[in-house]
Amino acid sequence: MTALDDTRQLAYIAGQASDARVNVELETEGMTLNIGPQHPATHGTLRVIVKLDGERVVAAEPVMGYMHRGYEKLSEVRTYPQVTTLVNRIDWLGSFANEVPFILAAERLMEVEAPPRAQWIRTALFELSRIANVVLFLGDMGVQLGAVTPVFFAFRDREFVLNQIEAVTGGRFHPNFDRIGGLKDDLPKGWVDETKGVLGRIRTFCDEMEDLVTGNEIFQARTRGIGVIPADVGLSYGLSGANIRASGVDWDLRRDGGVGLVHDQLDWKVWTHPDGDSFARYWVRLQEVREACDMVEQALDGIPSGPVMAKVPRIIKVPAGEAYVETENPLGVMGYYVVSKGDLVPYRVKIRSASFNNISITPWLLEGTYVPDVISILASLYFILGDIDR
Amino acid sequence: MIPLSSADAEATGVADEALVEVQADEQRDALVAALADALGDALVESHVEPGVDVWVRVVAESWVDAGRALRDRCGMAYFDFLSAIDWMPSPYGRDMDAQVDLPVDDGAADVATPAGGYETGLAGGQTRFQLLARLHDPVGHVGITVKADLAGDAPVVGSWTPVYPGADWHEREAWEMFGITFRDHPNQVHLYLPSHFEGNPLRKDYPLLARRVKPWPGIVDVELMPGQEEDDAGDDGSEGDES
């Protein structure tokens, strides 16, 4: 006997249906949900207060400051070489890249140029820190959406990259290796060949990600068409890096910036994606890791011989002036506005970090989305809390 | 000036750079000219460093107009950052050689209003607080730094949020760190600091407590180079170490 044959059953179903209709017509009560401060999607301690109407987000307000360390104030009482120790800790997954724009700004003020060998090694380390950073994103993006395997692959293969960085600089996360006028040391023996072997592993990792994640139906369903950022909105919010290139903006400071690295002498390509959704941001980053592997390989082949340090005074006094240098860091555009009054210490350092601008779009972007998409969007925007709070 | 640049630069590389510089210079001059055309007298001063960068200073009343003109007429679609500079020298002294921070003898009030005006940076300035913003043209690949002098100890200026929505958080940060109020800002509340926090930490007269309670050991830590005499350890680097 089916339910429709039984009159009592039929009446029950009709009652349920009318109840549901009544429920739809009634106003649902709003609810406020705290995401974080401790949440795996937040890479640190970001708290997002979302106001919900059912499953739909009515308003989202990120709350920062749990990790604010006041680097701009501290920089005003540190000598120039000491500041690199601070800025190392801004984006802790790609630390070496944090030092580069600050050192370049100081070098511009002092009118020092690093010798070619130092510039090439800098570029190689810069791109290696990009690999170490973005590889973790690729694994992490999966785990946010319920696929746990990729993150193990990511941690496994990132370790090889960190080993190479450690072999040169002595530090896995905080290299503090860049100096005004060059680098602290030359490369250790046999490092170039070993690094090329590691690049092979990373390329394999990218292929694995392509197989495991990119084509996965669930992954596609949860990222395609989710969190679409039009190019003009992204620009007005100051989005940068893969986030803006995934919206179809063909802009990369490594190609267009012309600062003291040697990217212009390497053969590589800027990847963009027209969609501007979560999937596009993931996809662009995956391609960028591959490009970074190519760049490191070319940089290693091209390292000229010579010193790694230009002649600089032992105690560094930077002539009065102002300089702003920004580079294309793993998370996006990172810049330092350095004001010097001719002292041992900077007069003012404004740190323009990528994640701060990247995450400032979230109130606009999250409005009208659904709760599960909040995680997908936050994961794909890819921020590091140290890079927001500074 | 100490001759510091690397001697390894090749002749051909230098020639290429010079070529690029001339081209970029025209681009930046045209940018300043376009802005001057849009703003008239509101553009106070400009400074172009050929091939490197450009700074302009506008009057505070035209701050919002300057942002709009740069976006609509100069192609500056990309909002980079907004912040401020406090040009008042710190009353606590800033020399790294000092083992303790000592207030300067003539008193903070005199420092706050020096007779000869403040010593400011590129594109000039007269007031203690200077607004600082950076915009970028993602097509022409040129950036610009915009400054504005803000009068008084609790300055007020128009908000850029209607022009660049990304300025929202930057203005909140400038408000709590420097005490600059942005007119018509939609949500002028603390960003990083707790809501009951008092003071503006990035102002130069806001003491850094860690430095007040303990002398900074940084200068002592400078290690001697091999073969360096102990007597040179305390030098200020003005003679330089050419070895």
Confidence bin at A11 (pLDDT 50/70/90): confident
Mutate to test the interface with A, among B169, B200, B204 (most CBs of A within 10 A): B169
Mean pLDDT of chain A, nearest integer: 85
pLDDT tens column, A59-96: 888 888 888 888 888 888 888 888 888 888 888 888 88
Query: Angle A116-144/A371-381 helices, nearest 10 degrees?
Result: 170
- Partner residue opposite B222 with nearest CB, options A72, A315, A361: A315
Partners of A56 in beta bridges: A53, A370
Q: How confident is the model at residue A284 (pLDDT cuts 50, 70, 90)?
A: very high
Mean pLDDT value across residues A332-347: 86
pLDDT, position B8: 39
Local confidence band at A26 (pLDDT 50, 70, 90 cut-offs): low
Pairwise CA distance, residues A96 & A91, whole Å: 9
Low-confidence ranges of chain B (pLDDT < 50): 1-21, 96-97, 99-112, 232-243
- Report d(CA B57, CA B123) in Å as an integer: 6
CB pair distance less than 8 Å for A311 and B9: no
Cis peptide before B215 (omega within 30 of 0): no
Residue burial A36-49, b: 16+ Cβ < 10 Å; e: rest: bbebebbbbbbbbe
Out of A313, A326, A364, closest to residue B165 by CB: A364
- pLDDT, tens digit (0-9, with 9 covering 90-100), for A143-184: 888 888 888 888 888 899 999 999 998 888 888 888 888 888
* Amino acid occupying residue B149: D
Q: Which residues of A touch B99 (CB under 8 A)?
A: none
If you measure CA to CA, which chain B residue comes closest to A63? B191
* Integer Cα distance of B162 and B165 in angstroms: 6
Mean pLDDT of the A248-259 span: 82
Name the A residues in 252-311 with CB < 8 Å from any B CB.
256-258, 306-307, 310-311
Q: Is residue A376 classed as helix, strand or coil in its secondary structure? A: helix
**Cβ-defined contact of B8 to A77 (cutoff 8 Å):** no
Say what the pLDDT of residue B5 is. 40
pLDDT computed for residue B108 by the predictor? 45
- What CA–CA distance (Å, rounded) separates A13 from B64? 61
Q: Mean pLDDT over residues A359-371, rounded?
A: 88
Alpha carbon distances (Å) from B164 to A168, A250, A272, B18, B60: 42, 20, 24, 35, 17
Does the interface predicted TM-score (ipTM) exceed 0.85? no
Residues 6+ apart with CB under 8 A from B110: none
Helices (H), B40-87: 63-73
Backbone angles phi, psi at A70, to 5 degrees: 65, 40
Helix A116-144, helix A278-302: angle, nearest 10: 150
Quick one: pLDDT band at residue A54, thresholds 50, 70, 90? confident
The total of other beta-carbon atoms located within 10 Å of residue A74's CB is 16
Assess A59–B contact: CB distance below 8 Å, yes or no: no
- pLDDT at position A289 is 92
How far is B241 from chain A, CA to nearest CA, in Å?
5
CB contact under 8 Å between A111 and B4, yes or no, is yes
Residue A46 clears pLDDT 80, i.e. is over it? no
Work out the average pLDDT over A109-137. Answer: 90
| Mean pLDDT value across residues A5-34 | 68
- Note whether A112 contacts B134, CB cutoff 8 Å: no
Share of chain A above pLDDT 70, in %: 93
pLDDT given for residue A62 in this prediction? 87
